[in-house]
Amino acid sequence: MSGTADNVKGNIKETAGAVTGDEQLENEGKADQLAGKLKDVVGDVKDVAEGAIDKARGK
């Protein structure tokens, strides 16, 4: 699952938990959103690293 998908899923869970008063669901949503943000950051770092390697190799 992509970072964006985790973010959306987490946002839905967090909102549903807040509306229903389910703190566990709300916290799961927050955790899913954090996981999505981390996936996006890791993907960005990977892209930058691959670009630097390609540049160093003259590609």
Max Cα–Cα distance, the chain, nearest Å: 56
| Residues 31, 23: Cα–Cα separation, whole Å | 12
pLDDT tens-digit map of 9-43: 999 999 999 999 999 999 999 999 999 999 999 99
Q: How many domains does the chain have?
A: 1
| Residues 37, 41: Cα–Cα separation, whole Å | 6
Q: Which pLDDT band holds residue 58 (cuts at 50, 70, 90)?
A: confident
| Residues 34, 18: Cα–Cα separation, whole Å | 17
The residue range of the domain holding 13 is: 3-56
Ramachandran quadrant class, 2 (left: phi over 0; alpha: psi -120 to 50; beta: rest): beta
At 1 the pLDDT is: 75
